[in-house]
Amino acid sequence: MRPGRGGPKPDAITALAADAYVYGSPLVRQLSAVQACLREGCGTLAPAPFNDFAHADGPARPGDPVPFAPADLVDALAQLDLSGGPVRLHVPDTGGAYYVLQFVDAWGNAFAYLGPRATGTGEGDWMIVPPGWAGTVPGGVSGVIDAPTSVVSVVGRLACDGPEDVPRVRALQQELTLTHLGDRAHRTGLPATEPGVPGELRFFEELRVWMGDFPPAAPDRAYQDRFQPLGLLEEGLSPYVSAGPALTRALGRGLALGRLRVEEAARRPLAETGGLPGAWQTVPHLRDYNLDHFGVGTLGSPEWRIPDREASYLVRAVAARRGRWIPHGYEALYAHTSRDARGRPLDGAHRYVLRLAQPPPVRAFWSLTAYDSPGGHLVENAADRYVVGDRTPGLRHGADGSLTLYLSTERPAGPAGETNWLPVPAGPFRPVLRLHLPDQALLDGSYVVPAIERLGEHGS
């Protein structure tokens, strides 16, 4: 455990600690988020206990605190604890409307999806069972979802076509229910860490405790065994309560190096749809680090898996830092840009158009929303309009099927200004194009979203 004579040198401890941060930060981030959802809530969602849903009142609105929250989806979020046995999930019939329930394990792996792509939009009941469960499936169950860890996040998103559609969505949320089927009481919180651990070692203590309670996939365990010299595999009393100054310094330096490695990887340019000025950036393969758990609705084909397991740990850490619950690219693709076709920053002082020769090819729906930059929040506008897309009533297409969208602070003149207009903030802004169930042409880059063109300043 101690660096120096009889053990690894401080520099070796530092290097190992950096690797441990890259490997383990997704677990710590994910379970810290679970803990926050249980105690304080998540964004606009109120806190909810294990095995119960928290529901949003409606889509994102100006003033909401969550950056880049969608203005045409309503959230439903549940944290499951399966330590006492399985949980039964009832999914209502959405009448053909889009929804998705994404299942995420303690390590951040999206390991199952329910929704029109995978299971349709009809009513159904599903059993979510803990690792190693071998019980009897009761009647009336549509299928079994095998959870890789005993704590799971269920991230729900329900399509909403504006304020008048909120009552329908709220009714569906009330029918989205969880029932604990186990014969033992489930936990009410996460396994507790040891009190008295210094703050600079808190990350390693959380990783030690949670890694022990939520073991990873078998192929990861050999890699995880490398961290024995750090004390991460020790059980019982925490080795960090009385860690000596040399070990504390080495672990602290390793923590800083690991964070820097993840931050530098997160700052690298995202994939671009075209590579030209103003090209839209996407992250279709940010979730491809899941290499072991392919439940209902997941794709395990080679194009959706990172071939190098050790390289997948850094991708997983970057994904955990950028956004915990972004789905796989085959479920939804998010594209964004901050510059126009000539590489100039987008700013509401100017008027813009997005000319689509053909609308984006999707099997569910697409939509465009504008946020302030860099905050990523909706900004109130007089029209109370925050999204435009293929579900916008009366959207006007050209005779050849083309579509022109107008992005400006003031309503454009003419009939298309009534329907094809997306109000934008007065200052710098960032549009986000959401593509639900994207066709292959979007995923392989054969369909390229064109850059936004600047027309001129308002009044010109």
pLDDT at 276: 84
Domain 50-180 CATH (choose: 2.10.10.90, 3.40.309.10, 3.40.50.1580, 2.60.40.1610) = 2.60.40.1610
Question: Given phi > 0 = left and psi -120 to 50 = alpha, else beta, which region is 240?
Answer: alpha
Q: Which amino acid is at 145?
A: I
Q: Would you state the pLDDT for residue 281?
A: 92
Q: Which residues of 151-176 are buried (b: 16+ CB within 10 A; e: fewer)?
A: bbbbbbbbbbbbeebbeebbebbeeb
- List pLDDT tens digits, range 151-205: 999 999 999 999 999 999 999 999 999 999 978 888 889 999 999 999 999 999 9
Fill in the amino acid letter for 245: P
Q: Characterize 362-397 residue by residue with b for buried, 16 or more Cβ atoms within 10 angstroms of its Cβ, and e for exposed.
A: bebbbbbbbbbbeeebbbebeeeebbbbebbeeeee
Contact 362, 389 (CB under 8 A): no
Name the H helices within 225-355: 245-267, 309-322
Q: How many CB atoms lie within 10 A of CB 404?
A: 15
Q: Please tell me the distance from the alpha carbon of residue 13 to that of residue 243, in angstroms, as a whole number.
A: 13
pLDDT value at residue 460: 54
| Per-domain boundaries in the chain | 10-31+190-267, 50-180, 271-457
CB-count burial class (<10 Å; 0-12, 13-18, 19+) for 236: exposed
pTM: 0.94
Between CA 359 and CA 160 the distance in angstroms is: 20
| CA 125 – CA 109 distance, rounded (Å) | 22
CA angle 35, 323, 425 (to 5 degrees): 120
pLDDT at residue 306, rounded to an integer: 96
Helix, strand, or coil here: 144?
strand
Residues of the chain with pLDDT under 70: 1-8, 269-275, 456-460
Find the radius of gyration of the CA atoms of the chain. 24
Residues 361 and 447 sit within 8 Å (Cβ to Cβ): yes
The whole-number pLDDT of residue 10 equals 74
Contacts of the segment 130-136: beta carbons below 8 A, 24+ positions apart: 130/82, 130/83, 130/85, 130/86, 133/85, 133/86, 135/85, 135/86
pLDDT at residue 110, rounded to an integer: 97
pLDDT at 229: 94
Asked if 111 contacts 290 with a C-beta cutoff of 8 angstroms, the reply is: yes
How far are the Cα atoms of 133, 225, 291 from residue 218, in angstroms, in the given order?
Answer: 17, 11, 11
Smallest Cα–Cα separation from 431: which of 71, 159, 162?
71
Classify 271-457 by CATH class: mainly beta
Q: Which residue in the block uniquely carries the two structure tokens 């979510």? A: 128
pLDDT recorded at residue 459: 55
User: How many CA atoms are closer than 13 Å to the CA of 150, on its beta-carbon side?
Assistant: 20
Quote the pLDDT of residue 458.
Answer: 58
What whole-number distance in Å separates Cα of residue 216 and Cα of residue 313?
12
